[in-house]
Structure 1
Amino acid sequence: MTDLQCAARVFVARHGEALYESELLSDAGGWLSPLGRQQAKDLAATLAPERISRVWASDMARAVQTAEIVAGVLDVDVVVRKGLREFGVGDAAGTTGDPDPFAETFAAWVEGDHLARIPGGESGAEVLERLTTVLDEIADEHRGESVLVVSHGGVMSMALSVLARNLPGTHGHQRPMPNCGVVALEADGDGWVCRSWAGVPVG
């Protein structure tokens, strides 16, 4: 991120409630349920006073659909970036997810071991790098503006807690992100600061 004279305000939201073709774990994008579509409309109404200049989204269908609904209400465009997607399920693809195949890796990430890797998938460091790269791009492009980023609960809970210099790395692990929950961030020359997490102000 370059030196920012005017801070960018970045609202990172989880996508709306989604439905999936199968109950087995996969990296498929899913699609919004009727409730998820309403959640996206409510998100747009909540953010309307912020004068959002653009919506950025993960390339997974549930995120793109959420972004398009919000952008339609706010009359702005949507930019899609693969780096905003959820962490991959790796070798757990096709399994029921019971017991939790990610528990050990998540525990390591929470303890700060970002070299830990989901079997057959990404390490924490790789997740952080791709998400941070896109968020830094957004901050550079939108100095002095407000933007919405639509991403995913897992990557938000892990990566944003590490990214924001005023949060402990365990913050997101202790506070699961609801559908269309929002983390409000500001970016300046010193990095990222979290202003609120799922509607709760952060000091």
Structure 2
Amino acid sequence: MTTPTRLLVARHGDAEYPVHGVLTDDGGWLTETGRAQATGLAAALGERGITAVCTSRMERAVQTGAVAASVLAVPARAVDGLQEYAVGDLEGVPYGDPRAQQVFDAWVAGDLDATMPGGESGVQVLERMREALDRIADDHPGETVLVFSHGGVMSMVIPRLSENVRDDLAAARFLPNCVPAEVEVSRERWRVVSWPGSMDKSTV
């Protein structure tokens, strides 16, 4: 039997952005807390035999991956398709504006045709994230790879790709920074081994 590839997919570390409290597609940058989170995660995974670190091209994920790869002494590379969903025309809108949340809630509920104003549809997000993760699995058959992506796309895509969990798994289990979901990928079959998260979003 073919040994499945194990993807440890984590949200990037805690980050800062040029303008606080608004929706943005800016890549941001790691805070000191974020660097400590990345270091702690890598140290905790030291016995897992990780062979590579892959990240989205957004700067907060790239920086998280660089910290973790240094601790693990493995290469890191950025991969197209792992980025957070684009907020499009909602750039600069306060977090409390309901429009982005309404679209995201529609995706989680199964309406993948819903589209961010001036941004992506759920179908587009799912397809590019799946392609990116499948490409990583194909490049590392039978290995264990640490992947840094983003909470929104992880929450929507990973449960939907996996055969053993509900599509809305993340609706009540919010993803913290630098705590990975473990996924087995084998012959295009996806299985969630573990899913982190809190029932209380205020703790994330």
1:101 Cα shift?
2.4
Q: Cα gap change, 1:44/1:107 in structure 2, threshold over 3 Å: closer, same or farther?
A: same
CA deviations 1:136-193 (Å, max 9, x no partner) are 1111111111001100011111111101111111101221100112100001125110
1:199 Cα shift?
7.2
Match of 1:162 in 2: 160
Match of 1:189 in 2: 187
The number of aligned residues is: 197
1:95 Cα shift?
1.4
Please give the alpha-carbon distance, in whole angstroms, between the structure 2 residues aligned to 1:34 and 1:190.
38
Match of 2:15 in 1: 18
Q: TM-score, normalised by structure 2?
A: 0.92
Secondary structure (helix, strand or coil) at the match of 2:10 reads strand
Q: Aligned AA for 2:5?
A: A
Does the 8 Å contact 2:25/2:87 carry over to 1?
yes
Please give the alpha-carbon distance, in whole angstroms, between the structure 1 residues aligned to 2:147 and 2:15.
17
Match of 1:69 in 2: 67
Further displaced range: 79-88 or 190-199: 190-199
Please give the alpha-carbon distance, in whole angstroms, between the structure 2 residues aligned to 1:13 and 1:147.
11
1:14 Cα shift?
0.4
Q: Which runs of 5+ in 2 are unaligned?
A: 199-204
Secondary structure (helix, strand or coil) at the match of 1:138 reads helix
Match of 1:5 in 2: 2
Please give the alpha-carbon distance, in whole angstroms, between the structure 2 residues aligned to 1:57 and 1:73.
15
Please give the alpha-carbon distance, in whole angstroms, between the structure 2 residues aligned to 1:139 and 1:82.
14
Q: Aligned AA for 1:132?
A: R
Please give the alpha-carbon distance, in whole angstroms, between the structure 1 residues aligned to 2:29 and 2:101.
25
Match of 1:79 in 2: 77
Does the 8 Å contact 1:182/1:199 carry over to 2?
no
Secondary structure (helix, strand or coil) at the match of 1:135 reads helix
Match of 2:42 in 1: 44
Match of 1:152 in 2: 150
Does the 8 Å contact 1:57/1:81 carry over to 2?
yes
Q: Aligned AA for 2:6?
A: R
Q: Which runs of 5+ in 1 are unaligned?
A: none
Secondary structure (helix, strand or coil) at the match of 2:152 reads helix
Q: Aligned AA for 2:90?
A: A
Q: Aligned AA for 1:54?
A: A
Please give the alpha-carbon distance, in whole angstroms, between the structure 2 residues aligned to 1:119 and 1:190.
32
The 5 Å alignment of 1:42-121 reads 42-121=40-119
1:99 Cα shift?
2.3
What do you get for the CA RMSD once the two structures are aligned? Answer: 1.4
The 5 Å alignment of 1:118-129 reads 118-129=116-127
Please give the alpha-carbon distance, in whole angstroms, between the structure 2 residues aligned to 1:132 and 1:94.
28
1:48 Cα shift?
0.9
CA deviations 1:34-92 (Å, max 9, x no partner) are 11000000010111111110000000010000000000011111110130000001111
Q: Aligned AA for 2:34?
A: G
